[in-house]
Amino acid sequence: MDLRFYEKDNKGYYGSVSETLQNAGDGRLKESENQISKFENSSVKSDAELDCGRSTLNIYNVGYVVKEWVGPWWKGACLRKVKKKTVLRNISLQVKEGKMTAILGNSGSGKTSLLDVIACRSTGEVTGTVSVDGVPCTRDVIQQRATYVMQADRLLPNLTVRETLRYTAMLKLPGNIKAQDVDRKVSQVILEMGLKDVADSRIGSSIIRGISGGEQRRVTIAIQLLKDPDMILLDEPTSGLDSYTARYLVSNLRDLARRGKIVLLTIHQPNSDIFHMFDQIGIMSQGEMVYCGPSKELVPYFTTLGYPCDKYTNPLDRYVDVASIDRRNKEKEYNSKKRVDSLVEAFNNSKLHHTTVQTIQKIHQQPRPKVNVRQKGPHYGRIILTLLSRMNKNLFRDRKDYFARIFLLPLFMVFIIIFLGRLGHTYKSIQDRIGLIYNATTGPPFMGIINSVALFVCLRDLYYRECRDGLYGTGTFLVAYSIHVIPLQILSTLIFSSIIYWVTGMNPNFDRFVLFTLEVFILHYWGEMVTVACMGLVMNPNLANSLAALVQSAAVIIASGYVKTVANLIEPFQWLSWILIHKYSGEIFIANEFDGLEFECDGFNPCIPNGTAFIQEYYPGADERVARNFGALGGYAVGTLILAILAFKIGGLRNLH
């Protein structure tokens, strides 16, 4: 470990990454750096270049207040007390192009909230201004000029690093870009982030072995560099990384800054040797700045306030500690709060703070520069095709997932065949037929529920990030998902119905078999899309699973007529049945199977001698309503897609940190 972090770096704060890495004495790092040195040499800007017309991110007097509802949830929003919580107060900070700024602070000090406010992702009331080069940071400006790397990596586990980047590039880069330019850009960011050695390795997940956590972090950052942003915001990019990987990552980021980017990151527990890499440091406590200024002035500043840092202590640890509230007991809490208040006051009265505020005020007084017209993104067709191809590849790469999607429904059939065997033509076979139809009604939607809970979650989480980045919308994502699942569901349904229909001896007519298959497919798709809709409303996939299963079971019990004839239900349930899919699916299944069948009564009296009599008794008129009922099923298929889109709109874009 390098204990010389506090000694002044004679080469200043602009030493190249290679130097930093050589200091770290690591051959592997040097090798990786050599790979990107060609790129560096051509694009690293000199200080003089950087100073001339340097871009700046200006955060001026920013405050952020969120609402919290106090009391049990069942009291509802109206009866519960609303508590306003001040998350950020009076934050002013300037981040210059070419420099890397780190925001530190203990947990809950407001680091992530500050990035959220800058990136227009906050959920509360924001005061003050955030601007880039005098242009207020709106969502559009942020999408055009900045990228935000969140704490968690949301990547598809079965794709390689290169594929992940290539697909994102196809979604991000302008519509007229050529395929070879996309590949060139992808190779460039792979080199920049030192991912060359793992470029063709799988990403992996907690279940599938893939690249390491540090490499996943770098892929997440590489994704955000594809668009060549002016400004890079990173929330805890080093969290969960060992000190070696963290140092390497930060040195990559410093390189990016040197190439003319504005780099602002939050960091929890920085290693001592990372300290020298930051140009500017902000230390936050309870939503306020305790220090914000050049990293080389950090120790002298705190020393003048009476908090020196000895030679063998990490200054970042030392001053984050000084700015923390000690909540072990009341006395300690009171004393530490007093200390933090005085530090905040001292900083607000400091020359550092005043200079920042005055500089930003001057920028705001200048005429506002014109905002560039937004670059045209890829066209709708390319987005849909890219999403589709990515979903397909991710699924096909995992044998188990792929087999589950195709064979789960056919596997269910095995149990039905074992228990029911072959249907006869006696009066008693009516019960067996209803049992079979009941299973054909409930099985496909349940398999749809299981499939989406297992396979949709990673796609949904990726959607939340990419939708926030402005790559595509909810409708596009869910249409692509539908197109992705439909062929697989058709295949799965065909295997299921071809075997079950003919092996059990259902009504032997090819047209009826086709109708049966079509109906099973629609129910399968409906079950999956209802679950997708539930997953738009609730984040927890298990809860979404339960909700979808409840909807499905209730719909069967109320509307199918298998459990109780609809005409015998109490009136409200009869009305309700009109809006449930199983009213229509039940009638189709029954009419399709029973119409035209003859039964042997075997001495039973009274007996239902044929299918027509059964339909007249329990589903009067169902055989005449097949076309109408199919129309309704088609409506449900399209309707659930619309429902899913609405559910995602209502659920909103989640901020998955």
Ligand X SMILES: Nc1ncnc2c1ncn2[C@@H]1O[C@H](COP(=O)(O)OP(=O)(O)OP(=O)(O)O)[C@@H](O)[C@H]1O
Binding site for ligand X (CB under 6 A): 66, 68, 85, 87, 105, 107-113, 123-124, 268
| Amino acid identity at 478 | L
Q: Phi-psi category of 25—alpha, beta or left, where left has phi over 0 and alpha has psi -120 to 50?
A: left
- Could you tell me the smallest distance in angstroms from the CB atom of residue 235 to ligand X? 7
CB nearer to ligand X: give 105 or 210.
105
- Could you tell me the smallest distance in angstroms from the CB atom of residue 87 to ligand X? 4
- Could you tell me the smallest distance in angstroms from the CB atom of residue 111 to ligand X? 4
Dist CA 625 CA 584 (whole Å): 9
Say if residues 191 and 134 touch (Cβ distance below 8 Å).
Answer: no
Quick one: tokens of 212? 């390491």
Taking alpha carbons only, the member of 580, 554, 589 closest to residue 635 is: 580
Backbone phi, psi, residue 494, to 5° = -60, -45
Question: Distance between terminal CA atoms of the chain?
Answer: 31
Residue found under tokens 């594809």: 226
CB nearer to ligand X: give 87 or 161.
87
Angle, vertex CA 528, rays to CA 526 and CA 531, nearest 5: 105
Dist CA 259 CA 40 (whole Å): 8
- Could you tell me the smallest distance in angstroms from the CB atom of residue 78 to ligand X? 19
CB nearer to ligand X: give 102 or 226.
102
CB nearer to ligand X: give 107 or 206.
107
Backbone phi, psi, residue 339, to 5° = -65, -45
Angle, vertex CA 511, rays to CA 508 and CA 515, nearest 5: 105
Contacts of residue 244, Cβ cutoff 8 Å, sequence gap at least 6: 24, 26
CB nearer to ligand X: give 110 or 210.
110
What DSSP character marks residue 425? S
- Could you tell me the smallest distance in angstroms from the CB atom of residue 80 to ligand X? 14
- Could you tell me the smallest distance in angstroms from the CB atom of residue 19 to ligand X? 30
> Sheet holding 100-105: strands in order across?
146-149, 231-234, 262-267, 100-105, 280-285, 288-294
Q: Which residues pair with 288 in a beta bridge?
A: 285
Dist CA 519 CA 591 (whole Å): 12
CB nearer to ligand X: give 108 or 651.
108
CB nearer to ligand X: give 82 or 650.
82
Taking alpha carbons only, the member of 469, 376, 381 closest to residue 176 is: 376
CB nearer to ligand X: give 70 or 418.
70
Q: Which residues pair with 351 in a beta bridge?
A: none
- Could you tell me the smallest distance in angstroms from the CB atom of residue 349 to ligand X? 24
CB nearer to ligand X: give 87 or 506.
87
- Percentages of the chain per state (helix, strand, coil), in multiples of 5: 60, 10, 30
Alpha helix positions (H), 421-473 = 429-455, 457-468
- Could you tell me the smallest distance in angstroms from the CB atom of residue 286 to ligand X? 9
- Could you tell me the smallest distance in angstroms from the CB atom of residue 115 to ligand X? 8
CB nearer to ligand X: give 110 or 214.
110
Quick one: tokens of 405? 């999607």
- Could you tell me the smallest distance in angstroms from the CB atom of residue 220 to ligand X? 16
Backbone phi, psi, residue 590, to 5° = -65, -50
CB nearer to ligand X: give 435 or 651.
651
- Could you tell me the smallest distance in angstroms from the CB atom of residue 274 to ligand X? 16
- Could you tell me the smallest distance in angstroms from the CB atom of residue 61 to ligand X? 18
Distance from CA of residue 635 to its chain's centroid?
A: 30
What DSSP character marks residue 137? -
CB nearer to ligand X: give 85 or 425.
85
